[in-house]
């Protein structure tokens, strides 16, 4: 699929990082947002962007301040462990 967008010149400069090709910047922005919203897996993101290793992907995610393990992930994991009985409750007696 080919997608073409038009951006007024006055907005192009702040949208495109210095030295980066505009089409690559747009593709990365779309793909990273899809990953952030969990509509795309890390593997799919790597494949789409031509990233050869998980380490390179981690560097890209860090550069864009995208956390792979979120607070919501932590809460879900904690609830799952609590439900399984493997983690004692954190209630304190006073």
What residues make up the domain containing 26?
20-84
- Cα 76-80-86 angle, rounded to 5 deg: 135
Does residue 68 belong to any structural domain of this protein?
yes
* pLDDT tens for the chain, residues 1 to 94: 888 889 898 888 888 888 889 999 999 999 999 999 989 999 999 999 999 998 999 999 999 998 777 777 778 778 888 777 766 555 555 5
pLDDT for res 60: 93
pLDDT for res 45: 94
pLDDT for res 30: 94
Give the whole-angstrom CA distance, residue 17 versus residue 13. Answer: 8
Does residue 8 belong to any structural domain of this protein?
no
Does residue 4 belong to any structural domain of this protein?
no
């Amino acid at each position: 699929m080919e997608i073409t967008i038009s951006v007024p010149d006055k907005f192009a400069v702040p949208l495109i990082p210095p030295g980066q090709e505009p089409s690559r910047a747009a593709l990365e922005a779309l793909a990273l947002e899809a990953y952030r919203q969990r509509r795309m897996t890390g593997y799919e993101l790597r494949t789409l962007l031509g990233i050869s290793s998980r380490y390179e992907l981690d560097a890209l995610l860090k550069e864009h301040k995208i956390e792979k393990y979120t607070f919501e992930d932590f809460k879900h994991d904690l609830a799952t462990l609590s439900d399984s009985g493997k983690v004692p409750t954190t209630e304190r007696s006073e």
